Structure formats: structure tokens, C-alpha cells
Structure 1
Amino acid sequence: MTQWEKEDEILARVYASNSEIMTYLSQEAEQPKRIDSVPGHLMINRGREEGNSRLYNDYFSDNPTYGANLFRRRFRMQRSLFLRIVKAVREHDNFFVQKMDGVGNFGLSTLQKVTTAFHMMAYGTLADSTDEYIRIGEPTAIVCLKRFSRAIVEVYGDEYLRTPNVDDVARLLQKGEERVFQERQDNT
């Protein structure tokens, strides 16, 4: 091979290599850019602050839109118990503490995260159904449910999630009998 032929071969390899690089870069430019923490997922401005404000004003403010009776019916417990659980979960797992991102925007509040988990458990709702009112996406709702369940077991497991003893069974049977007796009186 002559010197010219060697140089032509090297230039052809460089050109082919550059061609491959340019093809790769153009294909990468056509793919959607990564905007959120999951590749391919786009960030949706859900109005988290608005959702938190609405939730707070509807159920947790000093003068809530929906009173104690509706709270109990919808959450299946009294507000004071709900707030005790919220406090215990927030203190146990830092995930439930509201944080601020690098731009200065607030993330989801503790109430939004815990309410999502409660709604999914109490009503058997789908994770994405909480988005319309609470303003939380499906993947985050699933994480909330998992972290909430784990926190509940870790915080309350020894006291409430144990096998009932003889006294517990007797107490529960007594309550059941009282309720049946009350129902019979109500029906007469």
C-alpha cells in the first residue's frame, strides 16, 4: 500500500466513525427529553399547592367546609384520630414531611400524602383516582401507600397488630353482643 492509500483508508475510517456519531446524536435529539425523574415521563403541573389548600380548607381548617360528621363518614374515623396518625407517621418517616425543591416550590404536604393512602385503603380506590382532588400522580400515590403501610406497622404494630389474647377476645365478643342488643332494640 502506498502512503496515499493508507491516508485514504484512515480518512475513510474517520469519516465512517464521524458518520456513526452524527447518526447517534441526531437520533438522540429526536427522542423526548427527560424532564422528570423517570425517563419518558413528563412533568405535569398538577397545582399541588391548590390541592393542599382545598384539602385543608375542606377538612382541617378551624372552620372546615365539611364538618365532623362528614369527616367521620368519609375518613371512617374522627379528625383527632386522623391527625394523631398523621403526626406519628410524619415523625416516623421523613418522606411524609413537606419539602421544598431546588427552585423553591413546595412538594406534596403531609396531609396530601396521608389522605391519599387512607383513601386508597378505605375505599379501595385506584392510585390515579386521587389525582383529581388531592393533586397527586399515580406513581407517587403508590409510594405513599407503601410508605404509609410500612410506617403504620412499625409505629403501631406491637400494640395493635398482634394476635389477640383471651382478654381481647372476651372484650370484642362483649362489644359485639352489646351492638346486637342495641340493633334489636332499634328495630323494635
Structure 2
Amino acid sequence: MTSGSGACGSGGDVDARRRINEELRAYTSAEINRLIQEHLQQSVVPRPIHHRALAPRDHVIAHQRLFDDYFAEQQRFGENFFRRRFRMHQPLFMSIMNALERRYKYFRFREDASGRPGYTPIQKCTAAIRQLAHGGVADMFNEYLNIGETTARECVRYFCTGVIHIFGDRYLRKSIPEHCQALMDMHGFTTC
């Protein structure tokens, strides 16, 4: 009788455990679903979403204006204006721009992520060279080139890095005393 009642007792324990586990699972599942639904119904964002302010810039029109002014067959401004504004002759500008465009992806024309046309190599090199030639602030050509301040700074940084890497071995060599003396003599400096 003991063994018989013991078998029935252990079967009842298993049933009780199973019932408790099922009730616990049902309660836990219901509580999890309630919390999920409550969270989904909340429209509160944990932090404000800041959208980047975009200034409408038409890169194509700006490129066409720049091209018509300085690079077209019948350019609006002549070689003298180009020389004054860029502090170099147009063929030198074009050779630097072509070398940068061939070597660096940054100076190639491409579209941005939304499919809008980006800046042309002429626009990027113009922004860099005119900043370096005139020592102005980064956004001084915003109205003419339609290039923002950040992009203009990037143009200068990539331009300088590119010119150093491409032309450094040929043109940026260390000076020797004879060259320094020749330059000083050429400009009328006297040595003590």
C-alpha cells in the first residue's frame, strides 16, 4: 500500500509541477506581450531627432557658370582675369586638376547617396586654389561656386595632400644654401 500510494503521490507532484510551469509560462508570456504592446503604443522618442539642415545648392548651374567664365572656348573673362584670380596660368591649373582627378576618387565627378550630382573637379580645385591664393575663409565662394564651408575645407585638405604626393618629389625638394643665396640675391637681400 505504501508503494502504491507513493506512486500516486509522485504522479500528482509531476502533474502539479506541470500545471505550475504552464501557469507560469502563460503569465510570463502574457506579461511580456503586455509590456511589448505598452512600449509600441508609446510615441515618446528617447531623445530628439535633429535633422541636418541642407542649403539648396545647384551644383550643375554653378559648374556651368564657372566653366563659362574661365574655361570655355569663348570665356567671359580672359587669361589676365584667370591669372589674377587663380594666381596661375590656366594650363597649369588644368594639369594639376587632371593629375588630381586621375589619382584621387575625391576629385572625380560623382553623385551623392540620393542621386543628386556632386561637385565637379573644376569646382573642387577652384575652391581650394582660390582659398590658398587669396587666404580667405572657407565659405567666401559659397555664392559663386555653391560650395559649403565644410566641403571647401575638405577641398583644401585633399588638394594640398594630393599636390604633395603627386608633385612633391619633383617640386618640393629641400633647399640647398646655393639656391637660397641665389633667391636672396635675386630679390636684393644682402647677407651680413
Normalising to structure 2: TM-score of the pair? Answer: 0.73
Normalising to structure 1: TM-score of the pair? Answer: 0.74
Residue identity matched to 1:11 = A
- Structure 2 partner of 1:16: 35
1:31 pairs with one of 41, 46, 49: 49
Deviations 1:3-53 (A, max 9, x none): 889856653442233222333x6528x735xxxxxxx32444301000000
Secondary structure, aligned partner of 1:163: coil
Residue identity matched to 2:85 = R
Aligned-partner Cα distance in 2 for 1:10–1:177: 91
- Structure 2 partner of 1:59: 70
Deviations 1:111-137 (A, max 9, x none): 100011112222222223332110112
Deviations 1:68-88 (A, max 9, x none): 222111111122221221122
Long gaps (5+) in structure 2: 1-19
Residue identity matched to 2:124 = K
Name whichever of 63-72 and 158-167 sits farther off. Answer: 158-167
Larger Rg: 2
1:80 pairs with one of 74, 88, 91: 91
- Structure 1 partner of 2:131: 120
Q: Residues 103, 15 of structure 1: CA spacing in aligned structure 2 closer, same or farther, 3 A cutoff?
A: closer
Residue identity matched to 1:106 = P
| 1:1-188 equivalent positions in 2, closer than 5 A | 7=26, 10-23=29-42, 27=45, 31=49, 40-101=51-112, 105-177=116-188
Long gaps (5+) in structure 1: 33-39, 179-188
Name whichever of 127-136 and 51-60 sits farther off. Answer: 127-136
Name whichever of 120-129 and 106-115 sits farther off. Answer: 120-129
Aligned-partner Cα distance in 2 for 1:52–1:144: 15
Residue identity matched to 2:131 = M
Residue identity matched to 2:30 = L
Aligned-partner Cα distance in 1 for 2:184–2:82: 28
Aligned-partner Cα distance in 1 for 2:137–2:49: 31
Q: Give the length in aligned residue pairs.
A: 169
Aligned-partner Cα distance in 2 for 1:174–1:62: 41
Secondary structure, aligned partner of 2:147: coil
